[in-house]
A and B are shown apart, each in its own frame.
Chain A
Amino acid sequence: MEELLLYPVFVPMVCGVIAYMMGKWKKGMRDMFVSTAVGLELLLVLTLLTNPEMEGARLTIEGFCGLALSLRDGQFHTLMALLTATGWFTATIFCKEYMPHVQNQNRFYLFWLITLGATIGIFLSADLFTTFLFFELMSLTSFVFVIQTEEPEALKAGETYLAVAVIGGLCTLTGLVLLYAQLGTLSIEQLGYAAANATNRKELWVAGILVLVGFAAKAGVAPLHIWLPTAHPAAPAPASAVLSGILIKTGIYGILVLTTTVFLYDVAWGALMTGLGIITMVLGAVLAVCSIDIKRTLACSSISQIGFILVGTGMVCLLGEHNVLAADGTILHIVNHSLIKMMLFPIAGIIHLTSHTYDLNELRGFGRNKPLLAVVMFIPMLSLSGLPSLNGYVSKTLLHESIVALIHESSVPVSWVLTGVEWLFLFTGGLTFAYMMKLFFCLFVDKGNRNWTSNGEYMAEGSTAMLLTYSTLLIMFGLMPNDTMDTIAAFARSFLSGAMPNHEIAYFSWVNVRGSLYSLGIGAVIFIVVVRKLLYRKGIYYDPIPQKFSIEMGVYRPVLKFLGQLFIVVATLVDCLPFRLLSQTMPRCIDIWLTGLSHIRTYLASKLMGEEQMTHSNVEQVADDYHFAFYDDKPQKPIGFVHSLAFGLMLTGFGLCFCLAFILLHK
């Protein structure tokens, strides 16, 4: 039965190749085939979920890629696989509407399906080695999503994406090599035990940080988030949806594995995660508030939400064994963010289909007579902002509660810091509300210059159905959290070492609602003061952050370029030095010596015999034969000797002389 685990990973990859060949022949058939393949994938994952025999099943193929391929079913793994398959399914439905406007669809669908298989492989992996294999595959194949349109921006974004993927991947690989050498295993089940018994924590940390770099870069953790804001606007909308909704979660998966195994309950690691989380959370939100491109706003929002998830991860570590709130919050926020972004990015795509722009200033008033669009956009926006009665509220409340719980547990100086964290958390929640309102006002309230009165359909039936289903789901999850969201959390919780909670959480108690209201209140103030007053002048939104002012353009690219040049210059020097010494300095010395010698001889001869004597011609003049001494394009070049057979033989001669000297001296 375990072989069943291989199907969801490898079936889509095979289907991808088939779809590619099919597409060369008949396009309509390929589209049908891709939809069927993704539907089949969803069924396969559901089989894993529902088949009782598969509960906790494991599959190991020894020797795969040098170590082993091992997959497992159950808990968090299946949940994430299900989320992936669902997300891909909805995005594929949306592809039908969006992709006909994009060139090179064949290529896109090939990589679309391979990436699906690889992503499922990451989530089902039972050891970090397998995770890494699929992670690299996914990184490289999803590169095609980013560069798909081949616009200049896409080429540039692709460059960044590929660089981050390759550098991050190599860091992770280095870390894994060190980890495997230290602990002797990479299996998720055994890593925790092995790490607890490890003698040298310092080396473990080096390895851990290196592994973290690759995963964090993929997840979009600051300061490695650089690829997100450029890659998302460049990719076709369905691809941005899965990039943001699912692919960045693979990085989170890797971070969670590290957190719950190698650094289980490690306070320093928890603090690091929380710190990174806060920076990412605030930075992403600020960028999103400033952005004037709808897709860029959503991408920055993803960065910010990853920050929330990381704070939760930090809390999982810091709270020790009573971390159920944090564990549930982290898992549910992953799920919620994925669901919400799977709605918002397709909506952005739909807007682009009609308007051919993502620019907020051009889009003003786009949705003024499109009530359906307003509803399906408003629900996920509010949900992400954490309005009670929607699903985003549930996970944010859990995360908030876990911070509060930690404040109660810790002593005075630490608890002050944590209170600061709590307020930053609420403040960022406010920022979320502010940038979402900015989008909403821009699209549905402002009056634009262009006339957007739609003549006909602006949304295909498939997409409408999909968005309405998702909206219902969000509301249902939000209204009945104890029946729905808690069940999901309970299913996946043990992966994060969360124990059973003592009692059901009262999500709609005043204490919890109050937190959300604070956050929304802050958001409303920021929206009115900052967005409407400062960033909106004379009817135009403008971005206060100059385009050149980015960590990528300012730091990473110059540093990498400099290092590359440095390597080249130093290597060139080292490369030339011994050869120059041998080939130019030595012949020149010999030359000078010979000339000197002949001068002396001439002098002596004239002194002794009293007459002028012709000097003999030197070696080079004797060997003035084209094929004996000069082999360059310009004959008579003074260093031609170096390129000659004579020189090669001279080197041999040196070798033999050394040899002779050796033998004589040694005997």
Chain B
Amino acid sequence: MSAFWLVASILLPILGGLCSMTLHHTNTRRWFASVLLVVELFIVAILVPQYTGQLVLLKLTGGIRFVLQVDGLGRFFAPLICMIWFAVAVFAYEYMNHEGHKERFIGFYLMTLGTLMGICFAGNLVTLYMFYEAMTLMSVPLVLHIGTPKAFHAAYRYLGFSVAGAGLGLLGQFVLQNYCTTDLFTPGGVLDVEAVAEHSTLLFVVFVVMAIGFGCKAGMFPLHGWLPVAHPVAPAPASAVLSGLITKMGIVALLRVVYYLYGWEFLRDSWAQKTILVLSLLTIILGSSLAMREDTLKKRLAYSTISQVSYVIFGLMLFHPIALAGALLQVLFHAIAKNTLFMATGSIIYKTHLTQVSQMRGVGKSCGITMWCFTIASLSLIGIPATGGFVSKWYLTQGALHGIEKTWAWIGIGVLMISALLTAGYLLPIVVDAFFPGKNFDVSALKKQEDTWLMWITLCLLTAMTVIYGVMPTLLNHWIHPIIQSLF
């Protein structure tokens, strides 16, 4: 029976999404989507994890087949995604009022969730690739939503980069296939030791190519160019999930390649590891520096995503249990914090139509709760204690010091700290200006609209999660431990 639920977890949102496009009555559509997402969350969190084993859906040729399986990684990512997807959906009900084409948005929004579930539960790289491309195609309409020439430009940029990145990933699979004992993702790797012995250089090259390819979705340099273009034009809920979760699918793919195909022992101390480490550190600094430059808040946040997601790549390339824990926590906390930030931005746009940082002076007086959530999420991104971001950065730095040579560890910590400083530099002035506009500031000039409780309730819930999990990260142990135990 649980095999059925596994397939259902993928098909339900896709079919539901198709159905919801035909629902034109606002309340009906809202209830339909809400119920669907709750059911989905229930399936993914309770029913699917019971499934052990492989579910072969389809065999194309001898080596190529579609397989689903449920392991620690899927059990961690899938409920996280469903939960945030639900929160953002609730926010979107209200927000999309001023964007139009609500059916289309909710439809594609739900269908994208299905493909994400597919990525989480994919059993081999071919399946993962299929869902990965499907995710790109399903999420393009989200970016395209407003339909201006700028949006078309952004959507094609997004499509081009994503397809190119995934293509590089697939390319790796063609080569890798010959050296694997099985195509299934297996903790510890599936490389055939005898076959590999002579071709390690080739495999390293392939690894770097695959990492860059999948790193495209995660916004890693050099293929990060789509993020700052796609985010500002997409509606706020779409940017929120793009930035918070869809970028993380690049991380899932990378985790699968590193830990479930190659095996970290094969890559340890190789030049391939160092290359990706350098790229991730470069991206961390690059993203943070560029974010300082931007005046459009959403663009600033997009660059911030580039930087923050590379923290994860840095952590997972250190091949140390503590660092991997840090990386997974960073996935979680960045997802929560970035969703909060994008939704807070959306909420401000919705209420006051302000998009530029320089216009946001005194905004804390008119959107108090929103800006409070924005503040706490900002602190989490910087890594100030009692928020989640601090915990993940603490683990990342500890992992770096234990997992890799001292020089690399110190460079890594230096980069992380400089980036934290830059993050403070591009987020805190917004907060300070918003709450402390100066004595002569005319508060009554601010546009004020009625409270939109659907918006701020989701913001408050996510913010509460940042703080609660930040104070007590041990609550997450039963999600993260199984992954790390199976790998180290």
CB neighbours (8 Å) of A627 from chain B are 152
The segment out of A400-408, A491-499, A650-658 that lies at the interface is: A650-658
Which B residues from 283 to 313 make CB contacts under 8 A with A? 285-286, 288-290, 292-293
* Chain B residues within an 8 Å CB radius of A177: 394, 397-398, 401, 413
Residues of A close to B401: CB separation below 8 A: 177-178, 181
**Interface residue from A155, A564, A578 paired with B438 (Cβ < 8 Å):** A155
Within 8 A of B (CB), among A617-661: 627, 631-633, 643-645, 647-649, 651-652, 654-656, 658-659
Query: Please, how many angstroms separate the alpha-carbon atoms of A558 and B428 in the complex?
Result: 19
Asked whether A651 lies within 8 Å of B164 as measured between CB atoms, the reply is yes
Instruction: Other than A177-B401, A571-B293, A651-B163, give 9 A-B pairs with Cβ distance below 8 A.
Output: A66-B391, A132-B385, A136-B386, A155-B436, A155-B438, A564-B292, A645-B160, A649-B163, A655-B167
What CA separation (Å) do A567 and B438 show in the bound complex? Answer: 29
A152 vs B159: C-alpha distance when bound (angstroms): 48
Using Cβ atoms and an 8 Å threshold, which residues of chain B touch A173?
383, 417
Interface residues of A in 568-594 (CB under 8 A from B): 568, 570-572, 574-575, 578-579
B149 within 8 A of A: yes
Query: What is the minimal beta-carbon distance from B192 to any residue of chain A, in angstroms?
Result: 16
- When C-beta atoms are compared, the residue in chain B nearest to A659 turns out to be B171
Q: A567-B292, A666-B175 are in contact. Are A651 and B160 (CB under 8 A)?
A: yes
A666 vs B176: C-alpha distance when bound (angstroms)? 12
B167 to A, closest residue via Cβ: A655
The 8 A CB mask of A399-441 against B (1 = contact, 0 = none) is 0000000000000000000000000000000000000000000
Question: Within residues 137 to 177 of chain A, which ones have a CB less than 8 A from any CB in chain B?
Answer: 137, 140, 147, 149-152, 155, 158-159, 162, 166-167, 169-171, 173-174, 177
A40-78 vs B, CB cutoff 8 Å, 1 = contact: the mask equals: 000000000000000000000011111100000000000
B374 interface contact, C-beta 8 A:
no
Contact check, B164 vs A133: say whether CB atoms are below 8 A apart. Answer: no
Provided the pairs A162-B428, A178-B401 are in contact, do residues A150 and B438 lie with their beta carbons within 8 angstroms?
Answer: yes
> Can you list 28 A-B pairs, Cβ within 8 angstroms, ordered by A?
A65-B390, A65-B470, A136-B386, A137-B385, A149-B439, A150-B439, A152-B439, A158-B436, A159-B432, A162-B428, A170-B417, A174-B397, A181-B401, A564-B422, A567-B422, A575-B224, A631-B150, A645-B159, A645-B160, A648-B160, A651-B160, A651-B161, A652-B163, A654-B164, A655-B167, A656-B171, A658-B168, A666-B175
- CB <8 Å contact, A63 and B290: no
Binds A, one of B72-80, B240-248, B446-454, B471-479: B471-479
User: B-side interface residues toward A, CB under 8 Å?
Assistant: 149-150, 152-153, 156-157, 159-161, 163-164, 167-168, 170-171, 174-175, 202, 213, 221-222, 224-225, 282, 285-286, 288-290, 292-293, 379, 382-386, 390-391, 394-395, 397-398, 401-402, 413, 417, 420-422, 424-425, 428, 432, 436-439, 441, 470-474
Q: Is the interface of A mostly helix, strand, loop or mixed?
A: helix
> Are the C-beta atoms of B168 and A655 separated by less than 8 Å?
yes
Complex Cα gap A658–B165 (Å): 13
- B398 to chain A: which residues have CB within 8 Å? 177, 180-181
Complex-state Cα separation, A173 to B438, whole angstroms: 32
CB-based contact B286/A649 at 8 Å: no
Tell me the smallest distance from the CB of A636 to a CB of chain B, in Å: 13
Cβ of A663 under 8 Å from chain B: yes
For B171, list chain A residues within 8 Å (CB). 655-656, 658-659, 662
- Complex: A615 Cα to B459 Cα, angstroms: 61
Do B386 and A133 touch across chains, with their CB atoms under 8 A apart?
yes
**Chain A residues in 8 Å Cβ range of B472:** 63-64
Q: Chain B residues near A137: list those with CB within 8 A.
A: 385-386
How far, in whole Å, are A567 and B398 apart by their CA atoms in the complex? 26
Q: In the complex, which residues of chain A have a beta carbon less than 8 angstroms from the beta carbon of B289?
A: 567-568, 570-572
Contact B293 A662 (CB under 8 A): no
CB distance from B364 to the nearest CB of A (A): 10
CA distance A147 to B385 in the complex (A): 22
A169 contact set on B, CB distance < 8 A: 384
Contact A575 B290 (CB under 8 A): yes
Which of B156, B213, B397 is A643 in contact with, Cβ under 8 Å? Answer: B156
Distance in Å from the Cβ of A1 to the closest Cβ of chain B? 23
Interfacial chain A residues near B159, Cβ < 8 Å: 645, 648
Instruction: State A655–B390 Cα separation when bound (angstroms).
Output: 39
Which residue of the partner chain, among A66, A631, A652, contacts B394 with CB atoms under 8 Å?
Answer: A66
> A136 and B174: CB pair below 8 A?
no
List residues of chain A with CB within 8 A of the CB of B221: 574
Across the interface, which residues of B come within 8 angstroms of A67, CB to CB?
Answer: 394
Q: Determine how close the nearest CB of chain A comes to the CB of B399; give it in whole angstroms.
A: 10
Q: Which of chain A's residues 108-147 have a Cβ closer than 8 Å to chain B?
A: 132-133, 136-137, 140, 147
- Shortest Cβ distance from residue A566 to the other chain B in the assembled complex, whole angstroms: 9
Tell me, in angstroms, the Cα distance from A180 to B152 when the chains sit together.
51
* B290: chain A residues within 8 A (beta carbon): 568, 571-572, 575
Q: A568-B292, A648-B156, A652-B163 in contact; A166/B424 too (CB < 8 A)? A: yes
Residues of A within 8 A of B288 (CB): 567
Docked complex Cα distance between A180 and B401 (Å): 10
Partner of B473 from A65, A167, A567 at Cβ < 8 Å: A65
Q: Which of B150, B163, B382, B474 contacts A648 (CB 8 A)?
A: B163
Known: A65-B390, A177-B398. A645 touches B156 (CB 8 A): yes
The total of interchain contacts (Cβ-Cβ below 8 angstroms) comes to 165
Nearest 10 pairs between A and B by C-beta? Answer: A648-B160, A655-B167, A571-B289, A63-B474, A181-B401, A651-B164, A659-B171, A66-B391, A631-B153, A567-B289
Interface size on A, residues (CB 8 A): 61
| Known contacts A575-B290, A655-B168; is-contact A65 B386 (Cβ 8 Å) | yes
Is there an interface contact between B432 and A162, defined as CB atoms closer than 8 Å? yes
Residues of B within 8 A of A663 (CB): 174-175
- By a CB distance below 8 angstroms, the chain B residues around A171 are 417
Whether B286 pairs with A632 at a CB distance below 8 angstroms is: no
**A65 engages B391 (CB within 8 Å):** yes
| Across-interface contacts of A631 in B (CB, < 8 A) | 149-150, 152-153, 156
In the assembled complex, the Cα of A662 lies from the Cα of B149 at a distance in Å of 38
Contact A643 B157 (CB under 8 A): yes
Q: Given A136, A159, A643, A648, which contacts B385 in the complex, CB threshold below 8 Å?
A: A136
A260 to B72, CA, bound (A): 46
Residue of chain A at shortest CB distance from B148: A633
Docked-complex contact A568 and B293, CB < 8 angstroms: yes
Q: A64-B472, A166-B424, A570-B289 are in contact. Are A174 and B413 (CB under 8 A)?
A: yes
Q: In the complex, A140 Cα to B401 Cα: how many Å? A: 28
Nearest CB in chain A: distance from B48 CB, A: 28
Q: Is the CB of A574 within 8 A of B470?
A: no
**Given A158-B432, A567-B292: A66 and B395 within 8 A (CB)?**
yes
Q: Are B282 and A574 in contact (CB under 8 A)?
A: yes
- Least CB separation from A169: chain B residue: B384
CB atoms of B157 and A648 under 8 A apart: yes
Contacts of B432 in A (CB 8 A): 147, 158-159, 162
Contact B439–A63 (Cβ < 8 Å): no
Q: What separation, in Å, do the CA atoms of A133 and B394 have in the docked complex?
A: 12
Question: Which residue of the partner chain A has the closest CB to B175?
Answer: A662
With A and B bound together, what is the CA distance between A91 and B380 in angstroms?
A: 32
Q: State which residues 546-574 of A face B: CB under 8 Å.
A: 564, 567-568, 570-572, 574
Give the distance in Å from the alpha carbon of A577 to the alpha carbon of B46 in the complex: 48
Closest-by-CB residue of A relative to B393 is: A173
Question: Of A150, A568, A574, which is within 8 A of B436 by CB?
Answer: A150
Q: Is the CB of B292 within 8 A of A666?
A: no
Residues of A within 8 A of B202 (CB): 666
> Does B149 lie within 8 Å of A174, measured CB to CB?
no
Nearest CB in chain A: distance from B71 CB, A:
25
A643 B163 Cβ-Cβ under 8 A: no
B225 contacts A579, C-beta separation under 8 Å:
yes
Interface-centre pick from A169, A570, A627, A652 (highest chain B CB count, 10 A): A652
Q: Which of the residues B174, B222, B286, B391 comes within 8 Å of A659, measured between beta carbons?
A: B174
Q: Name the residue of chain B whose CB is nearest to the CB of A666.
A: B175
* Residues of chain A in range 75-100 having any CB-CB distance to chain B below 8 Å: none
A652/B167 in contact, CB under 8 A: yes
